[in-house]
Structure 1
Amino acid sequence: MVDYRNFEQFLHSRMKRRNLIIGAGALSGLAIANQFSPQRAIAKDRFSDYPFTLGIASGDPDPNSVVIWTRLAPDLLNGGGMPPKNVPIHWEVSTDEQMKRIVSRGTVVATPELAHSVRVVVEGLQSDTWYWYRFFVKDYSSPIGRTRTAPLANGYLSKLNFALVSCQNYQQGFYTAYKYLAQDDLDLVVHVGDYIYEGGISTTGPRQHNSSEIFTLEDYRNRHALYKSDTNLQAAHAAFPWIVTWDDHEVENNYANFISEIDSEPDQNPEIFLQRRAVAYQAYYEHMPLRPSQRPVGPNVQLYRRLNFGNLATFHVLDTRQYRTDQPCDDGTKPRPCGLEPNGTITGKAQEEWLYNGLDKSQAKWNVLAQQVIVAQVDRTAGPGATYSMDKWDGYVASRDRLLRFLEQRKPSNPVVLTGDVHNHWAINLKADFNNPLSPTVGSEFVCSSISSGGNGSDTIPSYIAENPQVKFYNNRRGYVRCNVTPTTWKTDYLAVSEVETPFGTISKKASFVVTDGNPEIKPA
């Protein structure tokens, strides 16, 4: 298997070897680029530097296809540094890491309109199978990536291992968790938002953003490029297919539908904010291994979608930003009656109906809701006078009540919610009535900490956690969640990094919990 532990050294060596025929197999032995195909285009002009500076990625697998992605960006923080013309990129997919057993190849055109990013839906593949892939352009070849197709629909799958990640503020820490994740035994990575942060330059963190707060398409492209330049992140993308959805910072902190965060910026005008949302959505699409059906149309895109992994698991991927009504009582932590607006919605009507319809029809053993913010009720005050976060489902009580009522009454098989956003690890029982601890548990919620957002963190537990008996675990270190799923058991491991403010953090397992088929109660492993 390709050794992704040395991915950083590999990429650095690639970027130094300018204007050479660079082998694509440096992860597992060099290969000469012109062995790829007799149709390899040789252009008269040359790139200013190695063009695959942002790495490669794959995602959204189904039983017969998977998306592979790259972007040409020899000058990654200055609009990519590509000439304003179409450029053909060649690609190939193999069943071996040496790229000798090629099963599919072709050419795709990188256009200036999409920042010379490309996605290829590689079709005609075998189900539940590992593949390796790479790209070529002119005299250059990309790193080799590894990906995997999903099992046949309703086919038997004995296990699925995946990681849950979110929140990777470049300025607040190094992506050390991705270094360890890339070496883990996984089939998949699920990212539930805050892939980039939109803010300006901070002088207090270990790394700095490349500009002031971002507003234009070029701004968002350069910010994505900065984040994508991290070699640990590139290694994690190269090792596994990803399922991605966004949260708020891909556009602006705590935005809701066409309403931006309350501040003095000009995007308080809804028309101006929708323009900002449109360019942010386009840049997100340009940098993620999404299918062409997720391409935005102006400030709109249907990002919610469903991915099946045999009869074992169905991922219902949600978007709780684009359609939500404004946060009640602004977006801070407030007491009730904030959050009781009967017409408030965090998903919008169409997505909510889509979710319930999919849960009703699902034949999977485990129904996974991959989404952004904590669903469970969490009292964030120690002692009397409960307060709740208006940016979470706590601010959209009507939406949550409908979801919990549906889970209790319709009883879809083993509902598990996956969440990010809060920069801490949590394990929470979803109760039919959070104000009655004896009410039935109708689902399980596992929340991953951040990759870097919030800095090192600590092992201190806030006093308000004791006010929430539904919370079974909390930890404030950075890291990721690993899920091992079988037909009978869901096991969640909480991995935490000792520090992220230097690149030398070590990783350890803080806790493990299990949920068994037919019983949503979270229990220690």
Structure 2
Amino acid sequence: MSNKNNDDGKKSSEHEQSREQGWLSESIDRKGFLKRTRRLGSFVIGGGIIGSLWPLACSNSKATNAPVPHTPSKTEGYPFQLGVASGDPLPDGVVLWTRLAPEPLTIGGGMESEPREVQWEIAEDDSFNNIVKSGTAIAKSQWAHSVHIEVEGLQPNREYYYRFKAGSEVSPVGRTKTTPAANEMVSQLNFAFASCQNYASGYYTAYDHMINEDLDVVFFLGDYIYEGDGQGHIGRGHIPKKTIHSLADFRIRHAQYKSDPSLQAAHAAFPWVVTMDDHEVKNNWAGINESADPQNEAAFQDLKARAFKAYYEHMPLRMPAKPGADIETQLYRRFIYGNLAQFNVLDTRQFRTDFACGTSHSANCAERLDPARTMLGDEQEQWLFNELQESSAVWDILPQQVFMGQMDRKEGPGESYSMDKWDGYTASRNRLFEAVKEHEVSNFVVLTGDIHRNFVSDLLEDFSDPQSPVLGTELVGTSISSAGDGADITASGKKYLAENPWIKFVNRQRGYVRCQVTPEQLKADFRVMPYVEKKGAPIKTRASFVVENGTPGAKRV
């Protein structure tokens, strides 16, 4: 991935020496900063002037052990209502994001149509005494006054702190981290992955706990927003109160999600790598073949263009993800963490062929076995195979959206598979598994979202033979809030275990998966909560699994 400035920001200039423009009234150490920004999400907001450019800001509350983040008071007209975020880290840079929106749940976000200058700074310390990069970006109305700063010239494997300023107002402070150098010997990597955060279904308590984790990066695997009209029963109904269609609708829905203080805190605490699934556009959409009716297909292409635009406007993504005249957005990409791990992030929604058997639901038909069917599209598939071939990392990890392993959903005789998952695209799965074998990918781990359950599953060379060689491991993370409170094990979970012997674990509570990677092993902790339909749920590790270097398949510990 190239690391260059985009047309939303001017090229940054490096400071020859640090500026003593103190942003905090007194210096605080890193532990104190993280205690404020991670545990509470109590961001600092501009006040009186101190120093040459940036105003004084301070925390609104003292840190406590309360799991629910504190919401800072925001003056009327404050433009940073949606917080800040960073993402797509590289060894020498990262993307910094914010959006000016003093009235985020209105059309236009409360902004005039004129462009606005936004200043930004990134520093080695949370007090901003050692600023290493700064610059000015232009927030334009045609991109919802969002800015995407592709910072260059940073040091690898280094923590940084960043902030923005618009007029006299200063944003919350965010923390980010670059990836190690490509040839660096990395002894440990900590990350989490999450997905599916239906706003109306539950509170984002999982993020209140996630910000206490020691993480290098967070992977979000899709369904960042939900496009439907669901109002739920907990007082967090969707705005607008309808299935969204217009660009203004999508912008308001993204802003509603981004306005959640728990989600803001998680974005400010870690760099994120995001990819979309279906609900960012339309439930269970499939590639470009949404409808056989040309008129309906044209309408869907227009819907997709609006959805992609709003998605880019609200995510810390690089220029290749910025949709253009051809509508497509580039979401499959690679991230390398030294010699330890290579992440090939996939897009399993945008380039797939339409559903087999005429449905996205459970079925079984010969069409699903058609070798011409594709989950990834020819270009992405070849890119992935090349990345697997050229990888020199100990671990090859695929963050992606839908269940990859085979899962028979029918109890007793006969079989039934979800046509929305890789079971509906078996030729694509077979080609991928052949590439894993051909390129001798010994530590192949797949990260999956979508299904609102935790799963651990072996990926077999031949699912028709439960004794066939294990090629890799699939770790499936449950939802942040989608489907409400959930349960530990359900009747359907027991059925999945009984019908699919390669599946080792099923759980239907809410939360995220925390992973620790070393040269010797990858450990996954399934972090779950008893409820999300009210605030303040505790969290625990429901189960832990380990994949050992050179031994495909997960073992429970």
TM-score, scaled to structure 1: 0.92
Which among 8, 18, 26 is matched to residue 59 of structure 2? 26
* Cα deviation code 1:184-209 (max 9, x no counterpart): 11110000100000001425344100
* Cα deviation code 1:125-152 (max 9, x no counterpart): 1110000000011111111000000110
Match of 1:117 in 2: 146
Deviation at 1:475, TM superposition (A): 0.5
Match of 1:519 in 2: 551
SS at 1:396's partner residue?
A: helix
Match of 1:249 in 2: 279
Match of 1:305 in 2: 333
1:260-279 correspondence to structure 2 within 5 Å: 260=290, 269-279=296-306
1:333-344 correspondence to structure 2 within 5 Å: 333-344=362-373
Match of 1:42 in 2: none
Code of the residue aligned with 1:347 in structure 2: it is: L
Code of the residue aligned with 1:165 in structure 2: it is: A
Match of 2:523 in 1: 491
SS at 1:238's partner residue?
A: helix
Which among 279, 301, 308 is matched to residue 281 of structure 1? 308
Q: Is the CA contact (8 Å cut-off) linking 1:110 and 1:116 kept in structure 2? A: yes
SS at 1:302's partner residue?
A: coil
Code of the residue aligned with 2:397 in structure 1: it is: V
Distance 1:203 1:361 in 2: 47
Which among 474, 491, 495 is matched to residue 464 of structure 1? 495
Change over 3 Å in CA distance of 1:480–1:64 after alignment to 2: same
Deviation at 1:319, TM superposition (A): 0.5
* Cα deviation code 1:146-200 (max 9, x no counterpart): 0000110121111100000000000000000011001111110000100000001
Code of the residue aligned with 2:236 in structure 1: it is: R
Q: Is the CA contact (8 Å cut-off) linking 1:24 and 1:144 kept in structure 2? A: no
Code of the residue aligned with 1:258 in structure 2: it is: I
1:48-447 correspondence to structure 2 within 5 Å: 49-78=77-106, 79-211=108-240, 212-260=242-290, 269-298=296-325, 299-329=327-357, 330-447=359-476
SS at 1:171's partner residue?
A: coil
SS at 1:391's partner residue?
A: coil
Q: Is the CA contact (8 Å cut-off) linking 2:42 and 2:59 kept in structure 1? A: no
Code of the residue aligned with 2:77 in structure 1: it is: D
Distance 1:291 1:458 in 2: 38
Code of the residue aligned with 2:341 in structure 1: it is: A
Match of 2:5 in 1: none
Deviation at 1:419, TM superposition (A): 0.4
Deviation at 1:506, TM superposition (A): 1.0
Which among 451, 454, 468 is matched to residue 480 of structure 2? 451
Q: Is the CA contact (8 Å cut-off) linking 1:365 and 1:414 kept in structure 2? A: yes
Q: Which one is further off, 199-208 or 463-472? A: 199-208
SS at 1:274's partner residue?
A: helix
Count of aligned positions: 502
Code of the residue aligned with 1:520 in structure 2: it is: P
SS at 1:522's partner residue?
A: strand
SS at 1:60's partner residue?
A: strand
Code of the residue aligned with 1:505 in structure 2: it is: A
Which among 494, 501, 504 is matched to residue 536 of structure 2? 504
Code of the residue aligned with 1:219 in structure 2: it is: D
Match of 2:3 in 1: none
Q: Any gaps of 5 or more consecutive residues in structure 2?
A: 1-29, 63-74
Distance 2:58 2:128 in 1: 8
Q: Which one is further off, 377-386 or 222-231? A: 377-386
Distance 2:210 2:119 in 1: 29
* Cα deviation code 1:298-342 (max 9, x no counterpart): 421221111111111111011011100001121111124352222
Distance 1:8 1:398 in 2: 45
Deviation at 1:259, TM superposition (A): 3.7
SS at 2:368's partner residue?
A: coil
Code of the residue aligned with 2:275 in structure 1: it is: T
* Cα deviation code 1:201-233 (max 9, x no counterpart): 425344100111111111111110000001100
Distance 1:217 1:26 in 2: 35
- Whether 1:477 and 2:509 are equivalent positions in the alignment is yes
Deviation at 1:407, TM superposition (A): 1.5
Code of the residue aligned with 1:150 in structure 2: it is: T
* Cα deviation code 1:413-446 (max 9, x no counterpart): 4111010000001111000011111100001110
Change over 3 Å in CA distance of 1:510–1:365 after alignment to 2: same
Q: Is the CA contact (8 Å cut-off) linking 1:172 and 1:454 kept in structure 2? A: yes
Deviation at 1:53, TM superposition (A): 0.5
Deviation at 1:261, TM superposition (A): 8.1
TM-score, scaled to structure 2: 0.87
Deviation at 1:10, TM superposition (A): 4.3
Code of the residue aligned with 1:464 in structure 2: it is: K
Q: Which one is further off, 482-491 or 410-419? A: 410-419
SS at 1:352's partner residue?
A: helix
Q: Is the CA contact (8 Å cut-off) linking 1:67 and 1:121 kept in structure 2? A: yes
Q: Which one is further off, 175-184 or 333-342? A: 333-342
SS at 1:97's partner residue?
A: coil
Q: Which one is further off, 444-453 or 291-300? A: 291-300
Deviation at 1:106, TM superposition (A): 0.9
SS at 1:61's partner residue?
A: strand
- CA-atom RMSD in angstroms: 2.2
* Cα deviation code 1:229-262 (max 9, x no counterpart): 0110000000000111000001000101124489
Distance 1:267 1:179 in 2: 46
Q: Which one is further off, 380-389 or 243-252? A: 380-389
**Identity across the alignment (%):** 49
* Cα deviation code 1:378-429 (max 9, x no counterpart): 0112211211000000110111111112212321241110100000011110
